[in-house]
Amino acid sequence: MGWKLWSLKKSIWVFHVNTGACNNCDIEIVDLLTPKFDVERFGIKLVGSPRHADALLVTGVGTRQAAKRLQEVYRQTSKPCVVFCMGACACGTGIFEGAYHVAGPVDKIIKEVDPNAIIAYVPGCPPKPEAMISGVVKALSVL
């Protein structure tokens, strides 16, 4: 394993993008920072700007309004980066499938910008914090 890959795995900085989520997944994501789960143990921390991020944590269906912004945020993120689809909506639009305001699941929106994007899925409504940690670990172990 090269030093680039080792350090990337040990220090994932996360930017949180809400593309029309009901706030349930967002609350569970913030849970990850609390003393019970404390993802800073693994070097994961939330950052304020996509330029600093290594992972985009996307929640929500990807509404027509949010789709363009999500693509812009993805372009602004410095590569290499991983996209995590958090929750049923982000993974496959969930109960909003076929609704008038939906621009497609998140992976479709991202692949319009970059067909080779690395995308990981954590289903659940909302996914438990344990499931999110497990998803991140699995995604990092296949890198």
Partner 1 sequence: MGAFLEGKGKSKEMNTPWQNLFWILIFPGFLFTLVLGLLASWLVRKVSALVQWRVGPPFYQPLADVMKLLGKEILIPQDACRVVFIAAPLVGLSGVLLLAVVLWQTAITQTAFVGDIIVAIYLMVLPSLALILGSSASASPHAAIGTSREMKLVLSYELPMALAFVVVIIKTAAAVGIGRQLDMAAISQCAPVLSVSGLLAFLTALLCIQAKLGFVPFDIAESETEVAGGVIIEYSGALLAVWKIMQAMMLVVLPLFLVMVFLGGFGTTGWPLAWGVGKYVLVLVLIILIKNTNPRVRIDQAMRFFWFYCGTAMVAAVILATLGSCYGIDWL
Task: Using CB under 8 A, list all residues that contact partner 1.
Answer: 3-4, 6-8, 10-11, 13, 35, 38, 40-41, 43, 47-49, 51-52, 54, 76, 78-80
Within 22-128, where are the H helices? 24-31, 64-76, 88-92, 106-113
Q: Which is nearer to partner 1, 13 or 94 (CB)?
A: 13
Q: Which is nearer to partner 1, 11 or 65 (CB)?
A: 11
Q: How far apart, in whole angstroms, are the C-alpha atoms of residue 91 and residue 20?
A: 13
Q: Residue 35: is the preceding peptide bond cis (ω within 30°)?
A: no
Query: In a 3-state reduction of DSSP, which class is residue 54?
Result: coil
How far out from the chain centre does Cα 142 lie? 16
- Please report how close the Cβ of residue 45 comes to partner 1 at its closest, in angstroms: 9
- Please report how close the Cβ of residue 29 comes to partner 1 at its closest, in angstroms: 15
- Please report how close the Cβ of residue 79 comes to partner 1 at its closest, in angstroms: 5
Q: How far apart, in whole angstroms, are the C-alpha atoms of residue 40 and residue 58?
A: 19
- Please report how close the Cβ of residue 75 comes to partner 1 at its closest, in angstroms: 9
Q: Which is nearer to partner 1, 12 or 61 (CB)?
A: 12
Q: Which is nearer to partner 1, 69 or 123 (CB)?
A: 69
Q: How far apart, in whole angstroms, are the C-alpha atoms of residue 35 and residue 12?
A: 18
